[in-house]
Amino acid sequence: MPDTPVRLALFDCDGTLVDSHANICRAMEQAFAGNGITAPSPEAIRGIVGLSLVEAVAVLAPGADAAFHHAVADDYKAAFQRMRADGALEAEPLYHGLVEALDRLAADDWVLGVATGKSDRGLAHVLAHHGLTDRFVTLQTADRHPSKPHPSMIRACMEQVGSTPDRTVMIGDTSYDMEMACAAGVRAIGVTWGYHDEALLRAAGAEAIVHRYADLCDAMKAEVTA
């Protein structure tokens, strides 16, 4: 670990870096249909984005048993893989201003990372598609950690790059991101262009709220001092 801990900015992926709601809904609809049950509404699916798959399905189908939850999660993965192989995935655009914000943070000596409920494969695909792979030093996913809001992903990021809770910020669009940040003892910044509204973000522990990427860097300067 360096003598002075680095300043670490961690980003969620879905709803924070990219808008992936359409693809998530399509894959979830196919997974539920394949198991004989009508899928929940897009609004309900929007609410679970950020959780790991089994946990997400459990929230969407609380009356079903664990076997059903695992079956739907497996079918969701298969549906996503089919969609990708068939070229049927809709574009998952970057949110406006992201690249400029990453440039500013890097110029200000922030180390960047991702903590996401996506799989390793899914995250790698998104970052490569948008030319962002080299922007992030640490990548932690649901493949190797408990679901959010467990703090495991944030702790692994800090350990990997040599940071500490007082010099780490978690940026995300859901209450799960904010709760994970609080559980890890790091600062939490909520963004309102994703899938949970400002009231949920604040209730879950967001210390700052930003409405556009152009305001993120200023909010982070207020959160973690040099």
Kindly list the catalytic residues.
12, 14
Question: Are 220 and 107 contacting, i.e. CB atoms less than 8 angstroms apart?
Answer: no
Question: Are 220 and 206 contacting, i.e. CB atoms less than 8 angstroms apart?
Answer: no
Largest CA distance in the chain: 57
Give the Cα separation of 28 and 18 in Å (integer): 18
Cβ neighbours of residue 74 closer than 8 Å, sequence gap 6 or more = none
Strands (E), 87-202: 110-115, 138-140, 163-172, 187-191
Cβ neighbours of residue 105 closer than 8 Å, sequence gap 6 or more = 9, 112, 216, 217, 220
Give the Cα separation of 71 and 217 in Å (integer): 42
